[in-house]
Amino acid sequence: MLFPTLETERLHLVEIGQQYSQKYYEIMSLDEVTRYYGMENLKSIEEAAKMIDSFKTIS
């Protein structure tokens, strides 16, 4: 199933892919973000890339 791109005046929602690894890492390495996820901060961009790959296996 293809992930639809959803866009409104204030939101642009797209499927996350490897091109977002750097930004995902920047966000998920912050204590104030991950404390609400019940997970440890990401430690590297490679870890972020692996996490993004794991999203594709979730159904």
Task: Give the pLDDT score at 7.
Answer: 96
Which of the four pLDDT bands, split at 50, 70 and 90, describes residue 59? low
Each residue's pLDDT tens digit, 1-32: 578 899 999 999 999 999 999 999 999 999 99
Structural domain boundaries in the chain: 15-55
Under 8 Å between Cβ of 16 and 24: yes
Pairwise CA distance, residues 32 & 3, whole Å: 28
Instruction: Identify which has the larger pLDDT, 59 or 31.
Output: 31
Task: Give the pLDDT score at 42.
Answer: 98
